[in-house]
């Protein structure tokens, strides 16, 4: 799975299957601090992901 | 997950809504806040304080959709590489919505950007930023009835905790959705305080307002950032933590302590003529310090 983590401007690629919440747990990211986008659409934490999905993890934190 | 109101897929889990119903929810939440706290009416001249973040643009977008008349006041702090949208995007957004955008900056006020001020290593970024920002917003908003800021639920819950933890009982009850009206200061209102930062980002993305991501480089070191992380951890485990903190605050303010808080007498700054709590205002004192250090 290809994952882009906006906050660190970091691209990752590894095998993954499971829910968005599982992915966030794996990456040690709190769900409250991010929005997860799959193929251009915002998805909820319960959504199941497959290895072919391209995921963007957007950071909620900002300054004003 | 399916939307609570229709058959479409939910895009957010708190509340569980599809994008269409989520937009509706945000507009209603903000309108309810405006009504409940009597923030302003359709006749009010509203100045929106535009910052580097998505929040203030989302605020403008929401207020326009609700039928309010707004103009923007952009305070450029002078932090390089810190914009969630470029200046061109900002101008394009304002032009598209046919809104007036006035611009001022720390550079205009003290002759230096926040980056230059911070290079001296003599100041605390958030405190310099807060003082100069407040000053500029007040100075350039005199012809408006209110200044609306993009403060969200996360900001407010953090502020309540900061004041509690630091024992700032004087500042404690200056929070909430609107400041007390005075002759010298334009009243400040916060229509987004019941919208969480995560909800705001979701809205900004649906409305294509957010174009990039940059975190304020100075935020990392602040106590606020520490409490932000703590609150997010708690909220992830116990949803509604932030909302409960804000509601507790509002109840306290309403029921107990309000009558005991004494406002300091205001006079006029002998240097710049703006309202001040002392003979020389905080911004002018800070300006002198900065100029002495950088010349
Ligand atoms: Zn729906
Ligand atoms: Zn002054």
Looking at residue A11, its pLDDT comes to 96
* B22: CB partners within 8 A, 6+ apart: B11, B12, B15, B199, B202, B203, B206
B163-193 pLDDT per residue, tens: 888 888 777 777 789 988 787 889 999 999 9
- Measured between CA atoms, the residue of chain B closest to residue A29 is B233
Quick one: pLDDT at residue B265? 72
Query: Is the confidence at residue A63, as pLDDT, over 60?
Result: no
Residues with CB under 5 A from ligand 1 (ion): B 3, 5-6, 8, 18, 21
> How many alpha carbons fall within 13 Å on the CB side of residue B165?
10
pLDDT of residue B218: 80
Express each pLDDT in B54-100 by its tens digit: 888 899 999 999 999 999 999 988 888 776 566 777 888 888 889 99
**B199: contact with A, CB 8 A cutoff:** no
Which DSSP letter does residue B176 get?
S
Nearest to B170 by CA among B54, B257, B46, B62: B257
pTM recorded for the entire structure:
0.90
Angle between helices B241-252 and B153-166 (to 10 degrees): 60
Q: Is the pLDDT of residue B130 over 70?
A: yes
pLDDT of residue B220: 66
Residue B104 CB contacts under 8 Å (≥ 6 apart), including other chains: B73, B74, B75, B76, B136, B139, B140
Q: Do B197 and A61 touch (CB under 8 A)?
A: yes
**Residue A1 in contact with residue A13, Cβ under 8 Å?**
yes
Q: Domain map of chain B by residue range? A: 33-251
Which of B10, B151, B243 should one mutate to test binding to chain A, selecting the residue with the greatest count of A CBs within 10 A? B10
Decide yes or no: CATH 3.40.50.460 for domain B33-251. no
Give the residue on A whose Cα is nearest the Cα of B190.
A64
Q: Which pLDDT score is estimated for B258?
A: 54
Q: Which of B148, B216, B232, B245 to mutate: most A Cβ within 10 Å?
A: B232
Q: What is the pLDDT of residue B263?
A: 61
* Mean pLDDT score across all residues of chain B: 89
Query: B11 and A42: CB-CB below 8 Å?
Result: yes
Q: Chain B residue closest to A57 (CA)?
A: B213
Tell me what pLDDT residue B52 has. Answer: 61
**% of chain B surpassing 90 pLDDT:** 60
Strand partners, A11: A4
Structure tokens of A52?
A: 């072919």
Of the listed ligands, the closest to the CA of B277 is: 2
Confidence band, pLDDT 50/70/90 cuts, at residue B35: very high
* A44: nearest CB among B13, B201, B236: B13
Q: Is B105 helix (H, G, I), strand (E, B) or coil?
A: strand
For residue B90, the distance in angstroms to the closest alpha carbon of chain A comes to 15
Q: Which option is the CATH number for A2-59: 2.60.120.380, 3.40.30.10, 3.10.20.30, 3.40.250.10?
A: 3.10.20.30
**For chain A, what are the domain ranges?**
2-59
A5-55: pLDDT as tens digits: 998 889 999 999 999 999 999 999 999 999 999 988 999 999 999 999 999
What are the residues whose beta carbons fall under 8 Å from the beta carbon of B195, sequence distance 6 or more? B26, B29, B30, B152, B153, B203
Spatial separation of the C-alpha atoms in residues B274 and B268, rounded to whole Å = 6
pLDDT of residue B85: 62
Q: Which of B223, B227, B228, B218 minimizes the C-alpha distance to B123?
A: B218
Per-residue pLDDT at A64: 41
Q: Do A58 and B201 touch (CB under 8 A)?
A: yes
Q: B12: closest CA among A46, A7, A57? A: A46
Residues of chain A found within 8 Å of residue B240, distances taken between Cβ atoms: none
């Amino acid at each position: 799975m290809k994952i882009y983590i906006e906050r660190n401007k970091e691209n990752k690629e590894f095998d993954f299957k499971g829910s968005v919440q599982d992915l966030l747990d794996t990456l040690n990211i709190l769900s409250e601090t991010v929005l997860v986008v799959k193929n251009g659409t915002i998805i909820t934490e319960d959504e199941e992901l497959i290895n072919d999905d391209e995921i963007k993890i957007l950071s909620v934190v900002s300054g004003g | 997950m399916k939307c609570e109101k229709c058959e479409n897929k939910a895009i957010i889990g708190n509340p569980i809504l599809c994008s269409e119903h989520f937009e509706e929810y945000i507009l209603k939440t903000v309108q309810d806040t405006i009504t409940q706290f009597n923030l302003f009416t359709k006749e009010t001249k509203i100045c929106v304080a535009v910052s580097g973040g998505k929040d203030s643009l989302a605020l403008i977008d929401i207020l326009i959709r609700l039928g309010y008349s707004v103009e923007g006041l952009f305070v450029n702090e002078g932090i390089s590489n810190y914009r969630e949208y470029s200046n061109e995007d900002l101008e394009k957004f304002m032009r598209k919505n046919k809104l007036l955008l006035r611009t001022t900056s720390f550079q205009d006020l003290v002759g230096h950007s926040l980056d230059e001020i911070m290079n001296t290593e003599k100041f605390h970024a958030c405190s310099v930023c807060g003082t100069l920002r407040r000053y500029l917003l007040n100075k350039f908003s005199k012809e408006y009835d209110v200044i609306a800021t993009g403060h969200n639920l996360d900001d407010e819950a953090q502020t309540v905790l900061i004041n509690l933890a630091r024992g700032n009982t004087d500042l404690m009850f200056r929070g909430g959705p609107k400041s007390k009206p005075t002759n010298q200061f334009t009243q400040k209102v916060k229509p987004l305080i019941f919208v969480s930062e995560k909800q705001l980002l979701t809205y900004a993305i649906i409305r294509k307002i957010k174009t990039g991501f940059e975190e304020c480089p100075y935020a990392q070191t602040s106590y606020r950032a520490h409490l932000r992380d703590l609150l997010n951890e708690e909220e992830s485990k116990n949803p509604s933590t932030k909302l409960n903190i804000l509601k507790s605050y509002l109840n306290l303010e309403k029921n107990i302590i309000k009558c005991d808080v004494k406002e300091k007498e205001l006079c006029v700054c002998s240097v710049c003529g703006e309202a001040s709590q002392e003979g020389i205002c905080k911004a002018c004192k800070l300006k002198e310090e900065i100029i002495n250090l950088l010349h």
